[in-house]
Chains A and B, each alone.
Chain A
């Protein structure tokens, strides 16, 4: 069974960088795409972007200017950096596996609050 787990600071100050890591077990990160999704409280899902083992990335156009994703095959992890964090970035952040068109395994999610 594939498991994903998000980790990172739960409180980020405005204008600082929001950084999260997703650790994958039960599957090699060398396969598929690996996505980040977020969900503000009481609202819907927003796809942030994804990365493959080759480092190929696709980002949500609305976040592209602030977003960087990376992947570490030796640790079976992938990461997210979102610069210039603002209150609008407060959300539960999920990582997920994306074999093709769907997101078939999700992490439990981690809440991140952007506040001073």
Chain B
């Protein structure tokens, strides 16, 4: 079965850029989405089809997908961006999630 691998945690200072990676075999041929989940809340879609931001998602969120790695980038993260982030891909058969990355804004 297809697997997506994320680092368990990423820490960043407010003025920096947070990069959260998601790795999978030939991932670039699939569309990758990213979700933000805060404690006690449902996941929220923040990036769709590799790089598209749904309505209402701040511009500081961006995405890319190349080779075997997709990346969620948060430029100038704020305290309210502290959350778990999950990548997800669909191989036209099953939906697969990465294990999730806890983002800490120091």
Contact = CB atoms under 8 A, between A and B. Distances in A.
Interface of A: 35, 44-47, 50, 58, 60-61, 94, 98, 100-104, 106-109
A102 B45 contact: yes
Contacts of A104: 45, 48, 54
A91 to B, nearest CB: 13
A35 B95 contact: yes
Interface stretch (B21-29, B74-82, B96-104): B96-104
B62 to A, nearest CB: 16
| Smallest CB-CB A-B distances: 9 pairs | A47-B95, A102-B33, A106-B42, A101-B90, A101-B31, A45-B97, A44-B100, A102-B48, A44-B99
A44 B3 CA distance: 13
A104 B49 CA distance: 12
Contacts of B31: 100-102
Contact of A103 (B1, B45, B93): B45
Interface string B66-96: 0000000000000000000010111001111
Interface in B4-61: 30-31, 33, 35, 37, 42-45, 48-49, 54
Contacts of B90: 100-102
